[in-house]
Amino acid sequence: MNCLDRFLTLIQTNVHVVDPIRQAAFCEFSPDSKHIITAGWSGMVSIWGVGDCKEELRFQAHEQSSGCARFHPGAYVEQQPYELNAASCDHAGNVSLWNLENTEPMATFENAKCRITRVSFHPSGRYISSACFDSSWRLTDVETCQELLFQEGHSKEVYDVGFQNDGALALSGGADCYGRVWDLRTGRHIMFLEGHQKPVITVGWHPNGYTMVTGSADNTCKVWDIRMRRCNYTISAHKSVVSRLKIDATGEFMATSSFDNTIKIWSTTGWQPLRSFSGHEHKVTSVDVSPCGKWMASTSADRTMKLWTKRQ
């Protein structure tokens, strides 16, 4: 059974409360597929074991709402527990760096004087981006906590930043309804993605390095080709906001989550819908696919995380 077949037979296996007070905002698998990190709007961050879905660590990461927590690319693989393994951000403009041994941050730096919606590690693990509500995004050195790039170009809030697999290019999406591609070697903007009618909420790169996808509050996803410099597909993805998209490690399919309470799986060959998943009682805020291709996780405004796996 290949990776795609597994995701056509997914069933919900576990439901856990991520945030007892406010909505669960974000989830991500670790590089070894054995752990999940979640963030909630009460500022809580948790790490869960995938096999038994047991909460291994929970801590109050931020006093303000946290919309995102991410694993370092080497977490549970190359990094030791006492080294940098995760990062989180909050609505007050702070980014915190974490190891896996205690609940005190290794470092916290004010990356902006405004809300930070999401952070993303560069594939090298040496840098972290932050998408900011001051219409900018920043790139920071995680060792020195020094800002390396301050990228302007969007005219409104920036919601997400994603890196090409080799780390040479970055893609940003914002409330101005546009996506922008940046060359990190020069800091220059090299492609303008125009066509969405509402804010671009989520972005992603295909493993092939030239296909990009943007998800929007206009309920659609658009598929772009950086070689041809055009939009190849527009997907009528959901009945409400597309909150997050994730292309799996093989590049065979894409998962999307939405405020219409559903998750959908799409083939990347023709970008056709394969299956829709329901189960959350409120808008789905995030979805992720494990690197091994066996699991899918989702978070929701119903305060829960759901773990999905292959039907036996």
Judge contact between 127 and 142, C-beta under 8 A.
yes
The pTM for the full model equals 0.94
* Separation between Cα atoms, residue 218 and residue 139, nearest integer Å: 28
Interval 181-199: pLDDT, tens: 999 999 999 999 999 999 9
Which H or E element spans position 6?
helix 3-8
Model confidence at 156: pLDDT above 60: yes
CB-neighbour burial class of residue 256 (10 A; exposed 0-12, middle 13-18, buried 19+)? buried
pLDDT for residue 279? 86
Model confidence at 164: pLDDT above 90: yes
Average pLDDT for residues 292-308, to the nearest whole number? 92
Model confidence at 130: pLDDT above 60: yes
> Torsion-angle region of residue 94: left (phi > 0), alpha (psi -120 to 50) or beta?
beta
Q: CA angle 172-178-183, nearest 5°?
A: 40
pLDDT for residue 16? 63
**Residues above pLDDT 70, as percent of the chain:** 92
**Residue that wins the pLDDT comparison between 21 and 249:** 249
pLDDT for residue 1? 47
Interval 190-241: pLDDT, tens: 999 999 999 999 999 999 999 999 999 999 999 999 999 999 999 999 999 9
Q: Which two tokens stand for residue 92?
A: 């007050």
* Separation between Cα atoms, residue 149 and residue 144, nearest integer Å: 14
Specify the CATH number for the domain of residue 201: 2.130.10.10
**Residue that wins the pLDDT comparison between 227 and 55:** 227
Interval 241-294: pLDDT, tens: 999 999 999 999 999 999 999 999 999 999 999 999 998 999 999 999 999 989
Average pLDDT, the chain: 92
Q: CA angle 285-27-94, nearest 5°?
A: 90
pLDDT for residue 13? 65
SS3 state at 3: helix
Pairing outcome for strands 116-121 and 107-110:
unpaired
Domain tally for the chain? 1
Q: Which two tokens stand for residue 118?
A: 């999401």
**Residue that wins the pLDDT comparison between 175 and 66:** 175
Q: What is the Cα 138 distance to its own chain's centre?
A: 16
Domain containing residue 270: 3-310
> Torsion-angle region of residue 250: left (phi > 0), alpha (psi -120 to 50) or beta?
alpha
